[in-house]
Structure 1
Amino acid sequence: MKAHSPSVSLSRRHLGPIALTLASAMVLACGPTPAHAPESEGVSAVSQSLTELVVNGTFASGSVSPWWNGPNTQSSVENGQWRVNVASGAANPWDAPIGQDNIPLTNGQAYTLSFTASASTSVTVRVTVQLGVSPYTAPLDQQITLDGTSRQFTFPFTSSLTTNQGQVTFQLGSRGAFTFRADNLSLTTGGSSGSGPIAQTSGFYVDPNANPAAWVRANSGDSRAARIQSSIASKPGARWFGNWSGDITTAVSNFVGAADAADKLPVLVAYNIPGRDCGGASSGGAGSPDAYRTWISAFASAIGTRPAIVIIEPDAVAQLDCLPNDTERQTRLSLLRYATEQFRDRATNTWAYLDGGNAGWIAADTMAQRLESAGAHNVRGFVLNVSNFYTTAQSTSYAGSVNSSLSSRYGYTLPFAVDTSRNGNGANGEWCNPAGRKLGTPSQTGGGAELLLWVKVPGDSDGPCGIAPGVVAGQFSPDLAIRLIDGT
């Protein structure tokens, strides 16, 4: 298994890709196995002033300056676009570089890189915002797939370094001879809550068909209905999609479309990895790797350019332990990488977060290796505590350790989100319908993480266990819901 190649300064000689052996990617640790199952108060968009950092991003003057091109490239302006002819002799992506230098970056500052691009043939190229000198740290490092159709790309990120020697680069080598075109190149400052899909909506979407809402409608005379409506059913939360969802294109498109019509931001969970939940209470998933690739590609395509938040495959990274051999672990990692690539390329207005387990499960350095191997660098970041109970503070501390390992090993850090649906009283060491748990902070931006989200639907059972021994996974229990409201 190979990690993505290191960031490089594009006017100098460089080292090649860093190899990540299967053994190092597969360092395994035992831990609890949370179960999951399928199944507002919105945050307002924050308006923030933006500062443009690149020069001549529209090529209106007819000149490419101060954009430069390196070996194996020829650069010009054609029909108001930047045209770059790439030669066939480049062995590595960074052997055919183009870019702009002297980009100021500030540690902890949020930025958004956007541009339109196309290519004369179908190719995958590398895009970075990075340090222009050793060690070439790249706060943004993305692979994009291009063809003859000009497409808009938008990549929000948070800088992990402070420098006046930043670069915006496109690394076009190792793909043979082709013509690359780009326009409307922009790198702006601005808080993460003021960029990406959050800025385009008026708050998180409240699912009117979530299990708690459906129960309230069907049981309006129940004495518990008003409390469940007020405390749970009226709050924004995620909808889970899997092999129960029917035609995935229709299911996802209808859900995202309803949110878009209401000017709200939907949260979706993709939960269909083969061998899901290691045979536990939420076992299942796609029947084969090929079936999963078809399913997840259709999922991402159904979102399209509409704004969304997506949680990718709860437990799938942490549960590599459960798979019987390296071949199956490598297959799962390849499927997760494929999923991240699909959301990156097909759902261009989505912030996708790859599940990273919880604060009490996998050692942080091991999780960092797994997230890198599973393609977390292709998407917005990672999410913690899905369907679990650890406090936001515990999750934030764990995320800091994961990011420290990502930075030291791979030269980047990632934003993260936390599931706060049931963490109001923290964890008691149990994961399956434990007593004494409580609702946490409703979905919002900030609060210790980039996003706090109700990913698990409060009141939906983890399985026939704990204080709900007769309630199957995914079934709503009003008793569980009231216990979460009261913290009992």
Structure 2
Amino acid sequence: MRQLSRLLGAAALALPLALFAAPAAYAGPELITNGTFSSSTSPWWSTGNLPLSVDGGRLKAAVPGGTANRWDAMFGEKSPALTLHQNHSYTLSFDASATATRTVRTTVQLNADPYPATIDQLFTVDATSRHFSWTFTGTLETTNGEITFQLGGLAGGAYNFWIDNVSLVDATTGSGSPLDLTSGFYVDPDSNPAVWVRNNGGDSRAAQINAAIATKPMARWFGAWSGDIGTAVGSFVGAADAADKLPVLVAYNIPGRDACGGHSGGGAGSPDAYQTWIAAFASAIGSRPAVVIIEPDSLADFGCMDSGAIKTRNDMILYATQQFHDKAPNTWAYLDAGNPGWVAAGTMADRLTAAGLTNVRGFSINVSNYFATSDDVAYGAAVNTELGADAKPFVVDTSRNGKGTNGEWCNPAERQLGSPAQVGGGAEMLLWVKVPGDSDGDCGIGAGIPAGQFSPDLAMHLITGS
């Protein structure tokens, strides 16, 4: 992304430091999906004669003897859509060693014949692990890039090669005028409000809904209705990437979803099915920047669940955080922390910790609810006080909190749109996570409208505050 690193960097700088420990400076997008090999070599590929394995937290390549060319024994990573830009500054680095002294080759190149490289570098390895690093200027403009390590074509027979901490960072944060942070988020052209406006242009409400809601950045929710999750997420993130905007996504498919409320029940058919689903979700984002809210209400909705069900849910959420940590290195993922009126701050801090908060960027507050931003910020600060040294950034859903809450959560009357998506505002970001106009369920002023279905009448109530 040409400008999104500036958006994310500005987010880190705009935050009240009293709320949490300041995050490390944003150094630019990491393009390697799995460079640490803590549990697997996926998604790295290799030629058929070059077995790859994890050996002591490093990738091990068993290099055969007798190959004629360096590329005859080769491995690499393409990631999901590794994007390279001309004139961007990149840093490639890794740690490597081998059982014998060998001069081998690494490239960052186009993954298509004749495979032109933007860096083509020889380096020498031996039994001592050494750190290698090069900074270079990109000469390719492509979404089909790859990194390779070419180990063949050498005299001396077979040997083993180890590598770890592989990193390819785009250090260019954009050029020209500073990014307008209020318009840096992706506007979904296929959101429920946008589709309704497109299909109902003659309706007297269409112009107002278009101006007030459909043209604003908001999250897209993904669940069983999304079809193949890898395709759905990849298409959405890819469209945002092409527009150079930051997409906001919601993962909402945990089994037993909305167990106590009941209006939004459903989810994957089993824990195993959920693990497959969420792993594909994270993989589809890959190295592209994104914001993801993980399973709204899932850590707050424990009241009607027994201890076994709670443990099963925690295990699934923990797995989800690990997937985003390992497979989507430039995603800012947030565990949902409910809202100020639901779970005490100390209890929520314990639940966040148990569910893998250390694996993700932070937590989200007020998703699909109506609490005023000031109340949400105070709650976030209280949770962080309980977290202590493990305090994290948080984001707030402001889609429907313009008038705060009246104590009702299911399509209450006389609520209003809140602040549009922006960086800062008392939290790390204010986001429209719930889609304004989408029903909370068959209740309140949305009686007869199923959860998640867009209603122009509900949208107009939020626009007018009536």
1:289 aligns with 2:271: yes
Distance 2:446 2:168 in 1: 54
Match of 1:377 among 358, 363, 372: 358
Distance 1:235 1:297 in 2: 29
Distance 2:356 2:165 in 1: 25
In the alignment, what sits opposite 2:25?
111
1:43–1:445 contact (8 Å) kept in structure 2:
no
**C-alpha deviation, 1:109, in angstroms:** 6.3
In the alignment, what sits opposite 2:164?
181
Distance 1:199 1:379 in 2: 26
Two-structure CA RMSD over aligned residues (Å) = 3.4
Higher relative contact order structure (alpha carbons within 8 Å, sequence separation ≥ 6): 1
Distance 1:302 1:445 in 2: 25
Match of 2:394 among 400, 416, 440: 416
In the alignment, what sits opposite 1:362?
343
Match of 2:405 among 420, 424, 427: 427
In the alignment, what sits opposite 2:290?
308
Distance 1:120 1:435, change over 3 A: closer
In the alignment, what sits opposite 1:82?
none
1:201–1:265 contact (8 Å) kept in structure 2:
no
Distance 1:471 1:107, change over 3 A: closer
Distance 1:476 1:211 in 2: 6
**C-alpha deviation, 1:421, in angstroms:** 0.1
In the alignment, what sits opposite 1:213?
194
In the alignment, what sits opposite 1:445?
423
In the alignment, what sits opposite 1:165?
none
1:205–1:264 contact (8 Å) kept in structure 2:
yes
2:58–2:162 contact (8 Å) kept in structure 1:
no
Distance 1:423 1:152, change over 3 A: farther
Within a 5 Å distance, the mapping from 1:47-446 to structure 2 comes to 108=22, 110-112=24-26, 118=35, 122=39, 147=59, 181-182=164-165, 203-278=184-259, 280-323=262-305, 325-407=306-388, 411-446=389-424
**C-alpha deviation, 1:376, in angstroms:** 1.2
Distance 1:206 1:121, change over 3 A: closer
Distance 1:120 1:394 in 2: 42
In the alignment, what sits opposite 1:470?
448
Distance 1:348 1:203, change over 3 A: same
1:122–1:147 contact (8 Å) kept in structure 2:
no
In the alignment, what sits opposite 1:455?
433
Q: Which letter does structure 2 place at the counterpart of 1:343?
A: F
202-211 vs 352-361, greater mean Cα deviation: 202-211
2:182–2:421 contact (8 Å) kept in structure 1:
no
Distance 1:253 1:347 in 2: 12
- Where does structure 1 lack aligned partners over 5 or more consecutive residues? 1-41, 50-105, 125-144, 154-177
TM-score, normalised via structure 2 length? 0.66
**C-alpha deviation, 1:354, in angstroms:** 0.5
Q: Which letter does structure 2 place at the counterpart of 1:273?
A: I
Distance 1:201 1:150 in 2: 38
In the alignment, what sits opposite 2:146?
none
**C-alpha deviation, 1:464, in angstroms:** 1.1
- Where does structure 2 lack aligned partners over 5 or more consecutive residues? 11-19, 42-56, 61-74, 80-160
1:356–1:382 contact (8 Å) kept in structure 2:
yes
Distance 2:197 2:414 in 1: 23
**C-alpha deviation, 1:45, in angstroms:** 4.1
- Deviations along 1:31-72, one digit per CA (max 9) or x if unpaired, are xxxxxxxxxxx99945979xxxxxxxxxxxxxxxxxxxxxxx
Distance 2:214 2:37 in 1: 50
SS of the residue corresponding to residue 452 of structure 1 reads strand
1:387–1:456 contact (8 Å) kept in structure 2:
yes
2:59–2:162 contact (8 Å) kept in structure 1:
no
Distance 1:392 1:244, change over 3 A: same
Distance 1:208 1:180, change over 3 A: same
Distance 1:43 1:237, change over 3 A: farther
**C-alpha deviation, 1:199, in angstroms:** 11
Distance 1:151 1:110 in 2: 26
